[in-house]
A and B are shown apart, each in its own frame.
Chain A
Amino acid sequence: MKKAWWWVISIYSVFLLILGILIGKTIQRWAIIKVKTEVDTVGAIISLLSLAVTLAVAYWVASILESKKEANRVEKDLIIKRIDDIYGLIEETSIKVAVQEIDLILAVSKIKRISVNIISVIETVKQAKITIDEAHQSKIIDAIGDLKILLTNTPLIGDEHLENLPLEIREGIIHMSSDRRLQIDSEFDKIKRLIFNLELSINKA
């Protein structure tokens, strides 16, 4: 039994040997599969140096990008902080206007502060090369202009006999109808919404 087993293993080994030689011969004929048996020391050193330089450049580029990203984030935070201040100014002005009587000079000065600050923020955003929609900027400026018209545009003398004027100025104080006050409130809300969207755009950019 043991002898028979030995024969099987021997025949099987010879078969594997012949198969291996045949496969080896076949592979040798294929030009693309050539195994280089010598060690190229100079080439290996150059490869190592090349790898080291690649890693160094990758690290340098990554650190520059990271610091740029960090600077950009700080700029954005500063701009958003300024927009928050403007938001506060709008809130304060809308509360003053809500009483239906407001000093004209106070009203125009508040609106001027709001628009000057918004223009300044838009300029800063441009200088910081943060891309935001031009149309959105125009919408904010237009909305502030509309608010100013609602709050400070009194009718010409020919219209003074009209009853229930929406807006009158007596001794420098603006008196407005309930409807006009609602229109003004709505315009304030629109400006706040546009400014909030501006904040979001800057944050996303």
Chain B
Amino acid sequence: MDTLKVKIARDFTPTPGPRYIKEGKWSGEQFRTEKFYNIFNDAIQSNKNIIVDLDGTLGYGTSFLEEIFGGLIREHHLDYNQIVNRLQIISTEEPYLKDDILAYLKDAHEESLVVGN
């Protein structure tokens, strides 16, 4: 299976900011709406895997990561299993971020099920 790769430090900014555009520069909302959703959507449509490389930035706020990953389900209604099955995360500098991201995706998925009901 082909793979798409996105490196946040290179493809967006080395200084990720807050959750929302209104909160400041380089927000998660901005990244998700301008780039991240399109990449994931393309990958799902064309049956490709996605590698997200988190290394090389100054660090991530909790809301930034929650917004870009959780927002794919909450705002763009992408399928949780489609995301999780295709997603590969590179985070050698902060390895625990992988677990955090999977938890954000799971929480957003469970929240969407509650809202859906």
Contact = CB atoms under 8 A, between A and B. Distances in A.
Bound together: yes
A149 interface: yes
B20 A115 contact: no
B19 A108 contact: no
B93 interface: yes
Q: How large is the interface on B (under 10, 10 to 19, 20 to 34, 35 or more residues)?
A: 20 to 34
B2 interface: no
A116 B93 contact: yes
A180 interface: no
Contacts of B95: 119
Interface string B86-110: 0000000111100010000000000
21 contacts: A104-B17, A104-B18, A105-B15, A105-B17, A105-B58, A108-B61, A110-B59, A111-B59, A113-B59, A115-B96, A152-B62, A152-B63, A153-B62, A153-B63, A154-B19, A154-B20, A154-B61, A169-B23, A170-B23, A171-B23, A173-B24
Contacts of A152: 61-64
Nearest to A103: B24
B25 interface: yes
B18 A112 contact: no
Interface string A129-171: 0000000000001000100110111101100000000000111
A108 B58 contact: yes
A154 to B, nearest CB: 5
Given A153-B66, A154-B63, A112 B19 contact: no
B80 interface: no
